[in-house]
Structure 1
Amino acid sequence: MSGSNSDSRIHRNHRDVEDLLREVSAIRADMISGPATLQQLLQRTHPNYRDSARNLLHYLALRRHDLRPLQFRLASLGLSSLGRAESHVLATVDAVLEALHHLAGRAWRPPAPEQQRVDFATGQRLLAEHTEALLGPATPGRDVRIMVTMPTEAGEDYTLVQALLKRGMDCMRINCAHDDPATWRHMIEHLRRAERALGRSCRVVMDLAGPKLRTGPIEPGPAVVRIRPRRDPLGRVTAPARVWLADQGSRHPPPSPADACLPLPPAWLSRLRPDDRVTLTDARNSRRIFTVTAVSDRGCWAEANKTTYVIPGTTLHQERAGEARIGDLPPHRNAICLRQGDRLVITRGMEPGRAAVTDSAGKLLTPARIGCTIPGVFDDVRAGDNIWFDDGRIGGVVEKIEIDRALIHITHAHPGGAKLRADKGINLPDSPLQLPALTARDLEDLAFVARHADVVQLSFANSARDVELLQQQLEQLGGRQPAVVLKIETRRGFESLPDMLLTAMRAPRCGVMIARGDLAVECGFERLAEVQEEILWICEAAHVPVIWATQVLESLAKVGIPSRAEITDAAMGHRAECVMLNKGPHIVSAVQVLDDILRRMQAHQAKKQSMLRELHLAHRLPTDRRND
């Protein structure tokens, strides 16, 4: 009986192996039999990417199949389940076929014309080479690069740029949506100076602003500054407010964070001394006192122990220095408060928006309204389309499209109401928007970018035609050709990624950024993890480096303390080739923390593959408890 069972088991295993051979062979045949149009695409890719493009096409053919049942059956035989095939897909399939033939008692080798394929070592080497070509050499002890977005202050403060480079910045990102060419030039000059001082190199990456759809202006509030000390729950002052009394002719920001900045005549400031008492009557007709704590040639520091409201023209008095009036103050930035169920009107013009108007009984008279930066988009919007504002903080549905406006029904907002401000992003994920790949401003900025940047990032890349247009513009400018990075931040861009990659690979260097802010809104927050995973797979198959971006260690950069979730998110970034940090007052600390996280993760993980370094916990065996 046992012999019969053994024979039956052997026969069944042989049949399983033959079935697997047929399935895997059919998949392989599909992978290598691409249509002539795909061969033409391969011929147009740069020699640096020719093998990578072929590997990408093989991977896309493989992933047209549902491989899950096949994976389980291969794993039961102790064979590769194809789960780490991205960078060397045909070589992985061939290794499985060779093992299956061996189990079937037959020898097998791939046909001679097909033996020139990307093998395991070559796939890793190509990705490493392409990463270094795009992002520069790796920092010793850390293969994943760190990119940092420059604040405006980097154009004036060399020490900030030097500190960022010293802590581990590998790529300086300049967002062309902000500042101007003069400021950008100063940022780059500071970087080059820091490179010479520290003996380190750093790539310059510049983002074209792109056709970003944003909210228009809102009617400003009064020009008033509230100066408020910190208090405990009982209302007792725990720390006075820090007030920077600035030279009204200077454009320099306060030397450190301030609760308020008041412009005053320089001659009056020069007469102040530490411990001087400055008196004033504020906008609420309350008498207040500031105490001068420090003076410099650029201004003075003072402290306030009571809440104070000041407006332009408020008079300050000091016994020795005399009187001085506060100069121009920025108007208060108003916001429109929206709640679930509210109506919002988006106008095609850019007239300042305003909050809803109600009567004394709270009945709505006029709904809130706001303009948008690209009014033509509403030619492509239909009733029933979803609309999101401010990275998904406020959501609604388009109820009606009229000639000069769109009526929105707010369906998603914080229970207590959400504030919509000017210059916040608008996303229309359901609408087939026909936006230009490059705006007039982008074309103007591109002349500077082409001369000074190592990398240009194409915002809102949506199609292969968008990539071609940027490549053509760079060729027309001539001279040095910066590498192109595709920013994937729309649903359409995600769905067009393979086609855009094959177009970008016509150049010797290219990359992809996962812009997770807009992408989450466009594809749905619940799908973001799945979408970014697919982008990582596709780019690894193409040996194209990926930049992991948006809200990485955001709380740490902005307020100095990270959340637990942010630390985990930053650690996940090691699966990309570069992680991007946004600006904030504590950005230097954020770079240092990210550098430490990435160094630690490198010992444990490479892409999706666990690195089995010595595990310290494995030595902590239970003690002998027989005598307990």
Structure 2
Amino acid sequence: MNEDGEGMDEQLHTMLGQLDAILTDLDAEAEAKAAVIERVHPRHREGAVNLIHYSLLRDHDVRELQAGLSAIGATRLTTTEPAVKARVQAARNVVGAYLGLPVKFGGDEVRDAFHEADDILDRNSDELLGPNAEGTHSRIMVTLPSEAADDADLVLSFAEAGMEVARINCAHDGPDAWGRMIEHVHRAEESVGRRIRVAMDLAGPKLRTGAIAPGPAVERARVTRTEVGETITPAKIWLVPAESGGPREAAPEPPAGPGRPTVTVLVDDRWLDRVAEGDVLSLVDTRNAKREFTAAEVVDVDGVRCVLATGDQNAYLSNSTLIQHDFERTRISGIRDLEQHLLVSAGDTLTLTTDPTPVDPSAGDMVIGCTLPEAVRAIEPGQPVLFDDGTIEAVAGESSVDDAGNTRVVLNVVRAKPGGTKLRAYKGINLPQTVLPLPSLTDEDIVAFEFVARHGDIANVSFIRNAADVAFVLSTLAELADTIEKESGPEAGERARNLGVVLKIETIPAYESLASVLLEGMRHENLGVMIARGDLAVEFGFERLAEVPRLIMNMSEAAHVPTIMATQVLESLAKSGLPSRAEITDAAYALRAEAVMLNKGPHITDAIRILNTISAKLGSSQRKNRIQLRRIKSWHNAL
């Protein structure tokens, strides 16, 4: 044998030894984790074994082995997720064949493993999310806006466009509105002739900035102008009778129109009754500037006589502003307090405090509260603190306790927008490296959880960090099911026990302990995973967003657990009516998951239709991360 042949044989023997070692390790790891495997639901036993195999494989660097296998035309082990052991066995068979060895692993054992694994994932996906449309692998989950509670036709339009799962966010509205939304979903089901699952999000504890004291009650009626100062649209004031129109919040809406928003004010009823179309109204605004407005329209809104007045100059209005008509004056009211903010720049020092007292930015102190004091007390020096979806990043310094017993943590701001970022009240706070002493379900979540167990099909659970959080969720569901059974009978109790549970992976701890999170969740028969890309981007930084969702999807596939890809899919299209080129590509990637979540927007129905079309196009071209080589008709005469 020549030198090259001897070298090849040596390389093949090396690969054979590596593959045998991996197979030995896989068996040993599964045996060591036998007790963990025994705890999962029988439906998930094969998935649990495969997940343990996959976790072990991903704990090794096998790139050199992959290169060697690729050189001889064998599997590169890049799509091992469905059946790890069978794929390694197949590679071992190929290497052994090159060396003239008999096939070690039988054909059925290896050949059918992928097909059977795909069948298991399909069954689990159908159980959780419902059957997918013919020719597709993914379902479309659509977030219902608040209007869906009172607009059955809106929900029907979503269903007709292709919605397969309706999502309700329990952080908004309430049980009455949720119930009406679900009723409209069921009516839409009857119209389109197919089942639509209802998924409901449990918010979990929310870390947000504390209250900021309101500023003065001033609003500005504004004109819009060209670059050379010519008026395009006038400043607009919507005059509503104070007694007949009710409080500002209940006042009739002004007519829609172009230009800046219309300022709504309340005025004396009898004074307004004497204003006719074309009359001139004068006032002196808060800057002591004289302004004139003309009564452009007199409008009857549900029996309330209102006036739309327009002017060609900006006017600053307050609740002390007097407005005059025909030498008679009245004081306006209903002007809202200005929303204040902190302007935070890189290099600033910001203090995060447990003190719930609203902070006053006009005092000059860079201090902000937190809605969850336990979180502030848990922060340690050197840990990152992120505000408002990561638009502000700071690093924690020393903490102290003031005379009133409030903890104060000094934060050194390292990133903000050029010119500063506005930090407002009740914006999100992320603490990616802080161990938070908080349960995964709040008292409000548990109340909502019972509603979901009675009326919904799936609970999407936020704030999962580790297996203990999952155990708490499942034990809470078991307790709720027992309560429901006592109150409503065995059928209702069994329905609650079979509720779909989707674990939202949105934190660094959840990602780092994903295998144990999945194994704990697999104690429950009806399980899924949601990949919350928005929160993951904040926690990890955008530079890691290219790989983290993919890795979560891979590990979930190894467990034969369906995934839902969430956050900003076709968001430009849903909001503006036009998609970006990048988000069409992103949608194609998202469709590798068993479901894709679309959020709200005025053009959401168009987004559903387009996603449905893309899903049908890709149904015969991709399966998870495996490209399927269908015939490309467009290339028939390419040569």
Same fold (TM over 0.5): yes
Per the normalisation by structure 2, the TM-score is 0.85
Q: 2:540 aligns with which of 519, 523, 534?
A: 523
Whether 1:351 aligns to 2:357 is yes
- 1:489 has 2:506 as partner: yes
How far 1:192 moved relative to its partner? 2.1
2:163 aligned to which of 166, 169, 189:
169
Q: Find the counterpart in structure 2 of residue 262 from structure 1.
A: 264
Change beyond 3 A, Cα 1:128–1:339: same
Deviation (angstroms), 1:486: 0.9
Deviation at 1:326, TM superposition (A): 6.3
Q: 1:340 aligns with which of 346, 367, 379?
A: 346
Please, what TM-score do these two structures have when normalized by structure 1?
A: 0.87
Aligned letter for 1:297? D
Opposite residue 389 of structure 1, the aligned amino acid is F
The change in CA–CA distance for 1:543 and 1:236 in structure 2 (over 3 A counts) is: farther
Q: Which residue of 1 aligns with 2:57?
A: 62
Q: Which moved more, 1:182-191 or 1:232-241?
A: 232-241
Cα offsets for 1:22-81 (capped at 9, x unmatched): 111111111111265511121121122111111111111222221111111111111111
| Alignment correspondent of 2:40 | 45
Deviates more, 1:577-586 or 1:202-211: 577-586
Residue 564 of structure 2 is aligned to residue 547 of structure 1: yes
**Letter aligned with residue 420 of structure 1:** L
Name 1:132's counterpart in structure 2.
Answer: 126
Number of the residue aligned with 2:450: 447
Q: Which residue of 2 aligns with 1:102?
A: 97
Q: Partners of 1:167 and 1:269 in 2: how far apart?
A: 51
Task: Give the drift of 1:95.
Answer: 1.5
Report the AA paired with residue 150 of structure 1: L
Give secondary structure in 1 for the equivalent of 2:361: coil
Letter in 1 for 2:368: I
The Cα of 1:101 is off from its aligned counterpart by 2.3
Tell me the CA shift for residue 354 of structure 1: 2.9
CA distance 1:535–1:12, shift in 2 (3 Å): same
Mean Cα deviation higher: 465-474 or 586-595: 586-595
Secondary structure of 1:415's counterpart equals coil
Alignment correspondent of 1:233? 227
Distance 1:134 1:255, change over 3 A: farther
- Is the alpha carbon distance of 1:98 and 1:443 closer, same or farther for their aligned partners in structure 2, counting shifts above 3 Å? same
Output the CA distance in 2 between the equivalents of 1:298 and 1:78.
80
Aligned to 1:423: 426
Amino acid paired to 2:124: H
| Counterpart mapping for 1:238-387 below 5 A | 238-239=232-233, 248=246, 259-260=261-262, 262=264, 279=281, 281=283, 283-284=285-286, 285-289=290-294, 291-292=296-297, 297=302, 304=310, 306=312, 307-311=314-318, 328-355=334-361, 357=363, 366-387=364-385
Structure 2 counterpart of 1:528, one-letter code: L
Partners of 2:515 and 2:555 within 8 A in 1: yes
State the distance in 2 between where 1:463 and 1:266 align: 60
Inter-partner Cα distance in structure 1 for 2:271 and 2:117: 65
Call closer, same or farther: CA 1:271–1:356 in 2, change over 3 Å: closer
Deviations along 1:421-464, one digit per CA (max 9) or x if unpaired, are: 11111112222222211112212222212112211111110111
CA–CA separation in structure 2 for the residues paired with 1:204 and 1:274: 52
Residue 210 of structure 1 aligns with an amino acid whose one-letter code is G
Aligned residues: 606
Give me the whole-angstrom Cα distance separating, in 2, the residues matched to 1:347 and 1:570.
41
- Spell out the pairing of 1:211-222 with structure 2 (5 A cutoff): 211-222=205-216
Contact conserved, 1:350 with 1:372, CA < 8 A, in 2?
yes
Partner of 2:484: none
482-491 or 90-99, which moves further after superposition? 90-99
CA separation of 1:424/1:78 partners in 2, compared to 1, >3 Å: closer, same or farther?
Answer: same
Q: Determine whether 1:595 maps to 2:595.
A: no
Correspondent of 2:117 among 123, 127, 130:
123
Q: Which moved more, 1:43-52 or 1:608-617?
A: 608-617
The reply to whether residue 477 of structure 1 matches residue 474 of structure 2 is no
Q: Distance in 1 between matches of 2:343 and 2:322?
A: 34
| Partner AA of 1:573 in structure 2 | A
Which piece of structure 1 moves more, 257-266 or 401-410? 257-266
Shift of 1:240: 5.7
Is it true that 1:157 corresponds to 2:128 in the alignment? no
Q: State the Cα distance separating 1:108 from its structure 2 match.
A: 2.6
Q: CA shift at 1:84, angstroms?
A: 0.9
Which of 588, 591, 597 is matched with 1:580 structurally? 597
Residues of 1 paired with 2:476 and 2:60: CA distance?
Answer: 39
> 2:194 & 2:77 partners in 1: Cα distance?
40
Structure 1 pair 453/346, CA: closer, same or farther in 2 (3 Å)?
A: same
Greater alpha carbon shift after TM alignment, 255-264 vs 476-485:
255-264
> Which deviates more, 571-580 or 209-218?
571-580
- 1:105 to partner: Cα distance: 1.9
- Kindly state the Cα deviation for residue 502 of structure 1 after the two structures are TM-superposed: 0.8
Determine if contact 2:220/2:263 at 8 Å carries over to the other structure: no
2:62 partner letter = L
Q: Specify the alignment match of 1:30 in structure 2.
A: 25
Q: Distance in 2 between matches of 1:196 and 1:54?
A: 41
In the TM superposition, residue 176 of structure 1 has moved relative to its aligned partner by 1.9
Letter in 2 for 1:520: A
DSSP-derived class of the 2:546 partner? helix
Partner amino acid, structure 1, of 2:348: D
Contact 1:90 1:118 in 2 (8 A): no
Q: Which amino acid aligns with 1:335?
A: H
Q: 1:97: Cα distance to partner?
A: 1.8
Distance in 1 between residues matched to 2:173 and 2:554, nearest whole Å: 35
> Structure 1 71/470 Cα, relative in aligned 2: closer, same or farther at 3 Å?
same
Give the whole-Å Cα distance in 2 for the aligned partners of 1:161 and 1:256: 26
Identity %: 40
2:395 aligned partner = 397
Is contact 1:278-1:316 (8 Å) kept? no
- Residue 286 of structure 1 aligns to which amino acid in structure 2? R
Matched residue of 2:294: which SS?
A: strand
Q: What CA deviation, in whole Å up to 9, does each residue of 1:282-334 have, x standing for no partner?
A: 74452223533976538779584644544458788999xx9998663543322
Q: Which of 417, 439, 442 matches 1:414?
A: 417
Range moving further from structure 2, 145-154 or 419-428: 145-154
Contact 2:141 2:165 in 1 (8 A): yes
Letter of the 2:37 counterpart: L
In terms of mean alpha carbon deviation, does 125-134 or 227-236 score higher?
Answer: 227-236
Mapped partners of 1:29, 1:243: distance in 2: 78
Matched-pair contact (CA < 8 Å) for 1:314–1:325: yes
Q: Secondary structure at the match of 1:387?
A: strand
Which whole-Å CA distance do the structure 2 matches of 1:261 and 1:118 have between them?
A: 68
User: RMSD of aligned C-alpha atoms?
Assistant: 3.4
User: Which moved further from structure 2: 338-347 or 547-556?
Assistant: 547-556
Q: CA deviation at 1:476?
A: 1.0
Do the aligned partners of residues 271 and 26 (structure 1) sit closer, same or farther apart at CA in structure 2, a change above 3 Å counting? farther
Q: What CA deviation, in whole Å up to 9, does each residue of 1:79-111 have, x standing for no partner?
A: 111111111212211222222222222223438
